[in-house]
Structure 1
């Protein structure tokens, strides 16, 4: 089995990360992991839910069934210029099952 594709979530709009999930799935990676820290956690959760529910034009092109395989939350120490900060993180694993929708749909 191949490694899980990791998508790092930042400050870009949600649809950018939904498109990244779609691109990974179309490239053959049926399992992806969304990773976010700090304020980007909200965007990662929104991305996972849009993909899971297949909401919208881009997400509608995902495989027939999107499953949430697990969520990991925690904190980690991040070295800044002169200090160390404790930052929250989330890792969400998604799995695409089934075929992609046909062009006629």
Structure 2
């Protein structure tokens, strides 16, 4: 499955990710998935809300998935990191 409509949230500003989401919708995608882990989760929620409320009122939240991923650190130690996936859908 191609992941052209997936936006991975990192350390950039919220508006950078909002622009990426709006661009994906303008390129013809009906759905855009916002993914984040750890401390970036709050930025992902902000991105979805700003997109939905200020830039594209014709977009709604279709699905939200939360989970935990286990990552291996440099020393071989394992850590659990929370993950979030928000699916935005253009209203019909």
TM-score normalised by length of structure 2: 0.88
How big is each residue's C-alpha offset from its partner over 1:58-100, in whole Å with a ceiling of 9 and x where there is no partner?
x2xx3x51110010011110122122110001000001236xx
Deviations along 1:33-57, one digit per CA (max 9) or x if unpaired, are: 100001000000001111111x1xx
Runs of at least 5 residues in structure 2 that lack an aligned partner in the other structure: none
TM-score by length of 1: 0.78
- How many residues end up aligned between the 2 structures? 90
8 Å contact 1:4–1:29 — kept in the other structure? no
CA contact (8 A) 1:37 1:89 kept: yes
Consecutive unaligned residues of structure 1, counting only runs of 5 or more, are: 99-105
- Alignment RMSD: 1.7
- Return structure 1 stretches of 4+ with deviation > 3 angstroms: none
Q: For the pair shown, which has the larger CA radius of gyration, 1 or 2?
A: 1
State the SS of the aligned residue for 1:11: coil
- Among residues 80, 84, 87, which one is paired with 1:90 in the alignment? 84
Q: Which residue of 1 aligns with 2:70?
A: 77
